[in-house]
């Protein structure tokens, strides 16, 4: 009986030991995929503000009462459209007075010329009288030396000679005076002509035309009000902003500007100072970047307050959706086109000194240090560390450790296209939309605007 109990106890202990043995642990399961390799352009992101190419404050050049208004507020006006009329009657009266002054100056010129002819005739008469008096005086002196004539007769001839000589000199002075009067009349005529031009300009300025095409604002002055014009405090009547094309200003920091400079020096990316690089723009309610333009201007210095440099791009704005003052998302090329390795951010780990990824080789996890770039098409650019052939862990990164054995399952890396091209070229001149500068004046002088041409104010 004792032997049977002992045997049962031994059997029970052995069975319990077999049941309590630990099971073999399961390997961690991770999802792996090869990085995406494709041709890309690194499009740098900026936030810009839209600005009209032309913004004109319409102010009067002459003072007077506002007579009429000839535009619909908030609508598009064309260059040369009539906007306002100031009461022209005072300026018409000034023009009539200036014309009368010219007529008077012409009459004075005619009178001065007649005086000159009269002075010339008197000069000829006095010259003949002087010749006669000289001959008579010489004869009288000869006779007196022979005691043929008296001293009284000689004195009379000498007096007549002196009178003829004085008359001759007076006639010469009369000619000079007449010539001076003619010169004065010419000057008065030129002054009268200048007065007519000034009066005509002032009369023309009573009709205010649109100096540029664009969208006009509301009128700031109602009809019947007195307008102050031609001074620094001239009345602001309204404003006009051009609508197409349109500018977009943005600021780049020193690091980005130096990157562009180094790329241009290395021949990898044309400088936007010299080339019209393409630019893409999107508004706050738009998906992607549907508006395409090009670089237009890069400033010549950094702002000392913000340590940034102002740059500008231009867009055609044919549909007039872009409005001055709006904020916009813009993308400019930050690199040339090249083949890049792209991975999702979920595959990237970070420690205190570096960024890394895990890839699987023969079911063993390997750690790889990487240098990352910007996001393109929803994926992170890998500048250094990957060739694109690795089996990268994209899910289960927290379960893996270097040199750990894992179970891999295949996955995919999705590319989210952002609508931006994978290559670009600077725009050729025929596609430029930047406004052309004004032509140089001919012969080194500025062309005078005809009084018949529309006049506007762009102060």
pLDDT of residue 36: 92
Distance, in Å, from the CA atom of 179 to the CA atom of 116, rounded to the nearest integer, reads 6
Which phi and psi (to 5°) does residue 90 adopt? -60, -35
Q: What is the mean pLDDT of the chain?
A: 85
Question: What does the pLDDT average to over 357-382?
Answer: 92
pTM: 0.74
Confidence of residue 313 (pLDDT cuts 50, 70, 90): very high
| pLDDT tens readout for residues 226-276 | 999 888 888 999 999 999 999 999 999 999 999 999 999 998 889 999 999
β-sheet bridge partners, residue 43: 333
Distance, CA of 119 to CA of 124 (rounded, Å): 9
**Is the model's pLDDT at 8 over the cut of 70?**
no
Q: How far is CA 356 from the centre of its chain?
A: 47
Who contacts 288 (Cβ-Cβ below 8 Å, separation ≥6)?
A: 282, 418, 419, 420
Confidence at residue 181, expressed as pLDDT on a 0 to 100 scale: 83
- pLDDT surpassing 60 at residue 19: no
Q: How far is residue 296's CA from residue 313's CA, in Å, rounded to a whole number?
A: 5
Tokens of 113: 């010329």
Give the C-alpha separation, 137 to 155, whole Å. Answer: 9
Give the mean model confidence (pLDDT) for residues 409-420.
88
Quickly state the pLDDT bin for 204 (edges 50, 70, 90).
very high
Q: Which of 92-106, 126-140, 300-314, 414-428 has the lowest mean pLDDT?
A: 126-140
What is the average per-residue pLDDT within 336-362? 91
Is the predicted pLDDT of residue 9 greater than 90, yes or no? no
The C-alpha atoms of residue 390 and residue 80 are separated, in whole angstroms, by 67
At 25, is the pLDDT very low, low, confident or very high (cuts 50, 70, 90)? low
- Among 3-12, 17-26, 258-267, 450-459, the range scoring the smallest mean pLDDT is 450-459
pLDDT digits (tens, 9 = 90+) for 55-71: 999 999 999 999 999 99
% of the chain beyond a pLDDT of 90: 55
**Lowest pLDDT segment from 4-18, 91-105, 201-215:** 4-18
Neighbours of 82 (CB within 10 A): 16
């Amino acid at each position: 009986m004792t032997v049977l109990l002992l045997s049962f106890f031994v059997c029970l202990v052995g069975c319990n030991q077999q049941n309590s043995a630990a099971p073999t642990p399961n390997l961690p399961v991770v999802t792996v995929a090869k990085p995406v390799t494709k041709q890309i352009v690194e499009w740098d992101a900026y936030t810009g503000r839209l600005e009209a190419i032309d913004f004109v404050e319409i102010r009067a050049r002459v003072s007077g009462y506002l007579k009429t208004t000839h535009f619909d507020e908030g609508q598009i006006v064309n260059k040369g459209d009539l906007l306002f009329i100031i009461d022209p009657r005072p300026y018409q009266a000034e023009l009539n007075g200036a014309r009368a002054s010219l007529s008077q100056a012409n009459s004075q010129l005619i009178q001065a010329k007649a005086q000159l002819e009269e002075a010339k005739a008197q000069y000829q008469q006095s010259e003949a009288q002087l010749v006669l008096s000289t001959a008579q005086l010489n004869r009288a002196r000869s006779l007196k030396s022979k005691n043929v004539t008296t001293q009284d007769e000689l004195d009379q001839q000498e007096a007549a000679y002196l009178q003829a000589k004085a008359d001759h000199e007076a006639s010469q002075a009369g000619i000079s005076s007449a010539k001076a009067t003619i010169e004065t009349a010419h000057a008065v005529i030129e002054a009268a002509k200048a007065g007519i031009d000034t009066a005509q300009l002032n009369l023309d300025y009573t009709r205010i035309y649109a100096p540029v095409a664009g969208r006009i604002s509301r009128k700031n002055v109602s009809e019947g009000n007195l307008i102050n014009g031609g001074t620094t405090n001239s009345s602001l009547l309204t404003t006009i902003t051009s609508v197409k094309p349109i500018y977009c200003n943005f600021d780049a920091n020193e690091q980005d500007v130096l990157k562009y400079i180094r790329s241009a020096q290395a021949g990898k990316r044309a400088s936007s100072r010299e080339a019209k690089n393409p630019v893409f723009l999107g508004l706050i309610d738009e998906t992607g970047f549907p508006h395409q333009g090009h670089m237009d201007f890069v400033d010549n210095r950094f702002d000392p307050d913000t340590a940034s440099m102002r740059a500008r791009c231009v867009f055609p704005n044919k549909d007039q959706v872009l409005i001055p003052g709006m904020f916009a998302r813009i993308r400019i090329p930050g690199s040339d086109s090249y083949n890049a390795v792209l991975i999702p951010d979920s595959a990237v780990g970070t420690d205190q000194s570096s960024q890394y990824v895990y890839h699987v080789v023969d079911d063993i996890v390997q750690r790889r240090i990487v240098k990352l770039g910007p996001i393109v098409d929803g994926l992170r650019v890998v500048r250094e560390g990957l060739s694109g052939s690795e089996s990268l862990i994209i899910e289960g990164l927290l379960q893996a450790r270097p040199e750990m054995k894992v179970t891999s399952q295949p996955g995919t890396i999705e590319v989210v296209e952002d609508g931006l091209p994978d290559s670009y070229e600077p725009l050729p001149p025929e596609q430029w939309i930047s406004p052309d500068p004004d032509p140089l004046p001919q012969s080194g002088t500025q062309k005078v605007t005809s009084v018949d041409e529309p006049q506007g104010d762009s102060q």
